[in-house]
Chains A and B, each alone.
Chain A
Amino acid sequence: MAQKKSWLKEFTKGLWDEIPPFRFVLGLCPTLACSTAVTDGFGMGLCLTFVVTGANIFISFLRKIIPDEVRIACFIVIIATFVIIVELATQAYFYPLYLSLGIFIPLIVVNCIVLGRAEAFASKNSISLSIADGLGMGLGFTMSLTTLAIFREVLGKGSFAGHFIMWQGFEPFALLQKPPGAFFCLGLMLGIMNLFGKK
C-alpha cells in the first residue's frame, strides 16, 4: 500500500463517511428489528461492536495463515465464536436485554457488516488498524441504531429508555412501534442523510 493509513482515520470513517447501515445498506435486519426501544438499540449496537472488533483482531492476526480458498468459512467460525461469547454473556449478565433481542443475538453471525469488515478490511490490514476499523464501524452502527430507536420510541411510545417523557395527553404514534414503522423510519432517515453530503 502506497499511502500510509492513519489509525484515527480508520476509526472516524465508520462514524460518518461510511456509517453503517446508511452508507452501505448492510445489516438491515437487526437495525429494523432492534430499534423499538432505545435500550434495545443501544444494547444491540454494543453487542455488534464487540463481535466486529473481536473478529477483526483475530482475522487480522491470522490473515497470513488462513488459506485464501477457505477464508469465508474460517471467518464465519471466528465470528461465530465471538457471537457465542456475546450470547452467553448477555444471558448471564443482561437477561432482560437477552430476552428482548431474542433471536437477533445469534443472528449477528450472519450480519453482513461483520463479514463485510472481515473480508474487506481485517483480512488485508494490520491488527491496530483493524481494531480501529472494528470499533469505528461498531460505534457507528450503535449510533445509527440508537438514533433510529430514539425516534421510534419517543414518537411511538412517548418514552425514552422506558421513562415517559412526553407531555400529558400525548397521543403516541403507534405505527412507528410496529414493523412497517421501522421501514418508514429507516427510509426517511436515509433520505434525510442523503441531503447532507452524498458521496
Chain B
Amino acid sequence: MAVQEAWTFSDYIMLVVSAVLINNILLIRFLGNCPFLGVSKRMDTAIGMAVAVVFVLSCSGPLTWLVQRFLLEPFKVAYIQTLAFILVIACFVQLVETVIKKVSPPLYRSLGIFLPLITTNCAIFGACILNIREKYDFLQSLIFSFASALGFGLALVIFAGIRERFPFARIPKNFQDTSIGLITAGLIGMSFFAFAGLAK
C-alpha cells in the first residue's frame, strides 16, 4: 500500500483487521503488558481497563497526531516528540479524570482507578508513536488508534476469562500466578498467529 495513493474502503477494513487481530498490540507487538498482567485477575477490572484504554487511546492517538503535524513539524522540534507526547497524554488523562469525576461520579468510581495507570501504559504511547512512524494521515491514525485499543481490550478480556479459571487448575507451585500467566499469554498469542493468513 503506497502512502500517497488514496485509500479505498477495503484498505481501511484491512487496517482494522490488522490492528485488532494480525498485529495485536498486546500479543504480537508487545505493548501494554504491565496492565495486561496487572489487572487481568478479575473480569470486571479487565473490562474496566479495556474500556478506559479504548476511550483514552482513540482520543489521544489523533491528538498526538495533531501535535506532531501542527506543532512539532512546523517548528522543527520533532526530536522532542517523546517528551511532547507523554505530556499530551498525561494532561489528557488528567483532564478526562477531572471531567468524569465532575460529570459522572458512578462512571468515575468504575473507571477512575484505571485512569492514572493509563499514563504509563505503553500501549497508548506506543500506538501514538506508531501512528507517526507508519506515516498515517489523520483519519488513518484515528482508525488505527481505535482498532489497536479494541485489540488490546479483546486480548485482555480473553486473558482475564482464562485467568479466572486458574484457581481451579492444579498448577505446579513454582509456576503459579505470573509464570503460568505468561505461558497462557503465549498460547493465546499462538492462536492469534492464525489470523496472519488474512493479510495479503
Q: Are A179 and B83 closer than 8 Å at their CB atoms?
A: no
Residues of B within 8 A of A179 (CB): 27-30, 189, 193
Q: Is A32 an interface residue (CB 8 A)?
A: yes
Residues in B14-38 with C-beta less than 8 Å from chain A: 27-34, 36-38
Query: How far is it, in angstroms, between the C-alpha of A27 and the C-alpha of B172 when the chains are bound?
Result: 25
Query: How far is it, in angstroms, between the C-alpha of A195 and the C-alpha of B172 when the chains are bound?
Result: 11
Q: Are A109 and B86 closer than 8 Å at their CB atoms?
A: yes
Q: Is A66 an interface residue (CB 8 A)?
A: no
Q: Is A126 an interface residue (CB 8 A)?
A: no
Q: Are B174 and A194 closer than 8 Å at their CB atoms?
A: yes
Tell me the dominant secondary structure on chain A's binding face.
helix
Return the chain B residue nearest A88 by Cβ: B79
Nearest CB in chain A: distance from B128 CB, A: 10
Q: Is A87 an interface residue (CB 8 A)?
A: yes
Query: How far is it, in angstroms, between the C-alpha of A26 and the C-alpha of B32 when the chains are bound?
Result: 11
Return the chain A residue nearest B33 by Cβ: A28
Of A38-46, A54-62, A78-86, the segment with at least 4 beta carbons within 8 Å of chain B is: A78-86
Nearest CB in chain B: distance from A76 CB, A: 6
Q: Is A29 an interface residue (CB 8 A)?
A: yes
Query: How far is it, in angstroms, between the C-alpha of A195 and the C-alpha of B34 when the chains are bound?
Result: 23
- How many A-B Cβ pairs are below 8 Å? 124
Residues of A within 8 A of B121 (CB): 110
Query: How far is it, in angstroms, between the C-alpha of A38 and the C-alpha of B126 when the chains are bound?
Result: 23
Q: Are A187 and B31 closer than 8 Å at their CB atoms?
A: no
Q: Given the known A-B contacts A107-B125, A194-B175, are A187 and B79 also in contact in the complex, defined by CB atoms under 8 Å?
A: no
Q: Given the known A-B contacts A180-B187, A190-B182, are A29 and B34 also in contact in the complex, defined by CB atoms under 8 Å?
A: yes
Q: Given the known A-B contacts A109-B86, A109-B125, are A28 and B37 also in contact in the complex, defined by CB atoms under 8 Å?
A: yes
Partner of B183, one of A25, A72, A110, A183: A183
Partner of B90, one of A26, A76, A180: A76
Q: Is A1 an interface residue (CB 8 A)?
A: no
Residue among B31, B133, B172 with the most chain A CB within 10 A? Answer: B31
Nearest CB in chain A: distance from B192 CB, A: 8
Q: Is A2 an interface residue (CB 8 A)?
A: no
Q: Are A112 and B34 closer than 8 Å at their CB atoms?
A: yes
Nearest CB in chain A: distance from B108 CB, A: 19
Q: Is A103 an interface residue (CB 8 A)?
A: yes
Q: Contacts A33-B30, A183-B185 given; 12 further ones with Cβ under 8 A? A: A29-B33, A32-B33, A73-B87, A107-B129, A110-B120, A115-B120, A179-B28, A179-B30, A179-B193, A182-B30, A187-B183, A191-B172
Closest 10 CB pairs of A and B: A183-B186, A187-B182, A180-B189, A187-B183, A28-B33, A33-B30, A80-B83, A194-B174, A191-B175, A190-B179
Chain A residues packing against B (C-beta within 8 Å): 25-29, 32-33, 72-73, 76-77, 80-81, 83-84, 87-88, 102-103, 106-107, 109-112, 115, 178-184, 186-188, 190-192, 194-195
29 contacts between A and B (CB under 8 A): A25-B38, A28-B30, A29-B31, A33-B30, A72-B90, A72-B119, A73-B90, A80-B82, A81-B83, A87-B79, A87-B82, A102-B133, A103-B129, A107-B31, A109-B82, A110-B86, A110-B119, A178-B193, A179-B29, A179-B30, A180-B190, A183-B27, A187-B175, A190-B179, A191-B174, A191-B175, A192-B174, A194-B173, A194-B179
